[in-house]
Amino acid sequence: MADEDRPQITLITPPSFDLDVFPARLAAVLDTVDVACLRIALASREEDNLLRAGDVLREVAHARDVAVVIESHLLLVERLGLDGVHLTDGARSVRKARKDLGPDAIVGAYCGNTRHEGITAGEGGADYVAFGPLGPTPLGTGTPAEFELFEWWSEMIEVPVIAEGALTVALVERFGPVTDFFGIGPEIWGADDPAAALKTLLAPLG
């Protein structure tokens, strides 16, 4: 696959992690694989936890010229000096996020497996939309985003698209030609060597 056609990587943090250990694991991945964006996807709603983690991860990522977005927490983007927000409620908050954060911030929207939601998010000013899951998972409704959705989107819509959720080597190979990004996180963090696990997962991209 030619470099210009190869999907870029959005790296997704675990929902919780040890701040004494995870930053070094993250740095090792970023130093091994070319990553376009880091998504802070903490399950915590504790402001202190989010601020502490956000500060440390921003430093690790920005030192390597990797953009950082945070999942859902619009008000923390500017406080933490992040590059933008990843919204998880489809198109609903896109216009507000764009208005609040301004034209230069990254605003992305996870739209499940719904073409209409994705189109609406793009029209609202989203920089990208994410569809998923690709593989079987108990998360969300568990209904996968079909290959045909990505195929149609890549032909018809200019807004970049992220494919994410329960990725395997076979799915990376299949969806590589029809997506702009892969969102990867849960697939690698359980491995002893997440960087090696990521390289293995991305092997079909060449």
Q: What ranges do the domains of the chain cover?
A: 3-205
Instruction: Give CA separation, 139 vs 134, 142, 143, 166, 174, in Å.
Output: 11, 6, 9, 10, 22
Note the pLDDT of residue 1: 54
41-45 long-range contacts, CB within 8 A, separation 24+? 41/12, 41/13, 41/14, 41/15, 41/71, 41/86, 41/185, 42/13, 42/15, 42/16, 42/71, 43/15, 43/16, 44/16
As given in the structure block, the two tokens for residue 187 are 């697939």
Note the pLDDT of residue 139: 63
Tens digit of each residue's pLDDT (9 = 90 or more) over 35-84: 999 999 999 989 999 999 999 999 999 999 999 999 999 999 999 999 99
Task: Tell whether the model's pLDDT for residue 3 goes beyond 90.
Answer: no
Type of residue found at 10: T
Tens digit of each residue's pLDDT (9 = 90 or more) over 80-128: 999 999 999 999 999 999 999 999 999 999 999 999 999 999 999 999 9
Task: Tell whether the model's pLDDT for residue 34 goes beyond 90.
Answer: yes
What's phi and psi for 37, nearest 5 deg? -150, 140
CATH fold of 3-205: TIM Barrel (3.20.20)
Tens digit of each residue's pLDDT (9 = 90 or more) over 134-162: 998 876 677 899 999 999 999 999 999 99
Note the pLDDT of residue 192: 96
DSSP letters spanning 112-163: TT-HHHHHHHHHHT-SEEEE---S--SSTT-PPPPHHHHHHHHHH--S-EEE
Note the pLDDT of residue 142: 76
